[in-house]
Amino acid sequence: MRTIIAPLAVLPLLLGLAPETPRAAEAPGPGDHLAEVLAERTTAEGALRHLTALQRIADASGGHREAGSTGHERSARYATALLEAAGYRVSHQPFTFSHRETTAERLTLTGDGERAVPVRALTYTANTPPGGLTAPLAVAGGEGCAPGDFAGDTYRGRIALIARGTCTFAEKAAHAAAAGAVAALVHDNVPGDTPFTGSLSDPDAGVIPVGGLTLADGRELAAADGATVHLELEQLAEERETFNVIAESRGGDPDRVVMAGAHLDSVREGPGINDNGSGTAGVLETALRLAEHHRGGGATVRFALWSAEEWGLLGSRHYVAGLSGAERDTISVYLNFDMIASPNHALFVYDGSEGPAGSAAVTEHLVTSLAEQGLTAELTPFGSRSDHAPFVEAGIAAGGLFTGAEGLKTEAQARLWGGTAGEPYDPCYHSVCDDLGNIGHEALAANIRVIARTVGRAVWHPEALTTAP
């Protein structure tokens, strides 16, 4: 059920965060001129106003901004009010999704030395039978990403223990189920004090129960290969409605569209100020400053704030699936910004070399934009963990920025960007402490300048972004 919130125009006022009085608009000029104006005027200080608003919304909404919740709706209406006031044509794209609430997650190592092992039910897991199931463990070969990692009859009637990495949780579960496993436990690939949260991405992917473990517990259980455990995982399912926020500039060429997006929703475990309030704030602040300094003309610029990313990229997938072939062809490029202010940050740019035509050039432009600030970027694979994935799958040129999640910073990266080697890029990833104190201000400032400069250049010549500089 959707909650009715305060009218759009007054929500920012209620939060004490009304937009600044717009400056007089500058006459549009060449892409480089607009890019430099936006890079100067689009600041971390401006983005922090939005992050403060998102924190206040989470505080007033049960501590989170999860898709389908009051916190998400309030966040979306806050952004909508600002975008409409800036002159954008704003629409809400509703969709339903299967919401899950975990009611049981228990794992016990039985026999001598019996002990409870912390476990997290992955979203869209199948439920264990009432009261749970008891079975011996069987360690998967490799990372469980191929049928050969579950060779022979070793896994029949057992619980597969699998390392995290390389492929999706759904793929690991499917291979384990095909080998006869009755459940799967996936242990983390980096240290951490609590089991990770994750999703099978699709309600139909839960063919067997699947839980997540810490790296330390996974290694301990692997050393006890064949030991018997008792597992109980249960989730209640209900259909919920949520919506994407789509804001489009007026007066641009409808056959040349530049898109920039970020997911607005958080996980239930916390307010999501870095993941992904930071990307949302970068996109929103860029949109507001663009409206001040660009009167129209050039390409259409379309900003998207996705919902239900944390449930498997559902908002962006819904959007891309609804595009006709002709509509897909009008999108020159999609730029994605997810976690751009991790406190122990990296400066990752998605590697478009294996993406659709034009993606490698987008990568080069983003790397160059960081270099213009005296900063060195590192390439990271596109993968399927954020909202660029549906666009890449649809053959649309894409790129984006990322400052790291639960992965550990290397010694070489610490020498390059500072911070602490051997520690996570974001120690509060998917946790209650992902609040305003979890923002890396240096990374936020650098990445916001890149977003603004890139969008500014693309307004007049979007095709230049997908052509090597």
Would you please indicate which residues are annotated as catalytic (active-site) residues?
309
Radius of gyration of the chain (CA): 23
- Residue 63 half-sphere exposure toward CB, CA atoms < 13 A: 8
Non-local (6+) Cβ contacts of 98 within 8 A are 124, 203, 237, 238, 239
- Residue 89: φ, ψ to 5°: -85, 110
Tokens of 204: 């139909």
How far apart CA 87 and CA 80 sit, in angstroms, is 11
Contact in structure between 79 and 283 (CB atoms under 8 Å): no
How far apart CA 234 and CA 106 sit, in angstroms, is 9
- Residue 43: φ, ψ to 5°: -125, 165
Contact in structure between 54 and 265 (CB atoms under 8 Å): no
- Respond yes or no on whether the N-terminal peptide bond of residue 276 is cis (omega within 30° of 0): yes
Burial class (CB in 10 A: 0-12, 13-18, 19+), 408: middle
DSSP letter, residue 419: S
